[in-house]
């Protein structure tokens, strides 16, 4: 059971960091280790999403919201890689395999009119589910040729840096690299996508 106590949070993060370091060591000795690590953040995000949906099927429509999936993917990518994923990366997931069967999600029809999603305790959002329910039955349409493109943002990236999980583990071992040894480069991130690009079926 999750506890909000700081000590429990520290122990949980410590366990996650050690497990990730162990996984990296296994991948270093594997022929396909690098290829696996490239898709690992995406696979982990999908596994956690599926865990939420199957454990709490009556809240399925809440988990299907863009806000929930965006926050989930952002958190996993920052923990693993230290960067944000491309916006709308969850649009390519195989939801038929990740979400429970309709009979297991009994009772979610009552929530179709809307729900309240508390994001970080800062604000609440109410969303319509018409386009969510039509996502699986509407054929994909080609995006219009005239639409606003994605918004880009320049950010500094340390080539000698590590993911937050690795940094945390090194800090516990008192083996952090000395300051001033990083190599900073500018990288371009997609800050926001046009809704047509995220949901081409709309």
How confident is the model over 45-73, as a mean pLDDT?
94
Whole-model pTM? 0.62
Between 9-18, 99-108, 133-142, the lowest mean confidence (pLDDT) is in: 133-142
Selection from 122-131, 170-179, 187-196 with the highest mean pLDDT: 170-179
The domain limits of the chain are: 6-198
What is the chain's mean pLDDT, rounded? 73
Distance CA 47, CA 53 (A): 10
Residue 163 has a pLDDT of 77
Selection from 44-53, 132-141, 150-159 with the highest mean pLDDT: 44-53
Residue 3 has a pLDDT of 58
Secondary structure of 91-131 as H, E, C letters: HHCCHHHHCCCCCCCCCHHHHCCCCEEEECCCEEEECCCHH
pLDDT score of 27 more than 60: yes
CB 163 within 8 A of CB 80: yes
């Amino acid at each position: 059971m999750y506890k909000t106590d700081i000590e429990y949070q520290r122990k949980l993060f410590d366990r996650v960091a050690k497990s990730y370091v162990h996984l990296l060591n296994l991948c270093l000795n594997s022929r396909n280790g690098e290829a696996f690590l490239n898709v690992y953040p995406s696979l982990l995000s999908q596994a956690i999403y599926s865990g939420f949906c199957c454990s709490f099927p009556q809240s399925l429509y809440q988990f299907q919201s863009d806000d929930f999936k965006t926050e989930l993917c952002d958190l996993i990518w920052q923990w693993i890689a230290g960067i944000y994923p491309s916006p709308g990366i969850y649009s390519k997931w195989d939801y038929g395999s990740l979400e429970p069967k309709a009979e297991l999600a009994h009772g979610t029809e009552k929530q179709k009119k809307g729900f309240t999603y508390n994001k970080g305790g800062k604000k609440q959002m109410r969303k319509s589910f018409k386009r969510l329910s039509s996502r699986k039955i509407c054929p994909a349409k080609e995006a219009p040729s005239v639409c606003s493109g994605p918004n880009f943002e320049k950010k500094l990236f340390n080539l000698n840096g590590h993911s937050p999980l690795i940094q945390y583990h090194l800090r516990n071992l008192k083996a952090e690299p000395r300051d001033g040894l990083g190599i900073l480069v500018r990288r371009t991130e997609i800050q926001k996508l046009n809704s047509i690009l995220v949901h081409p079926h709309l």
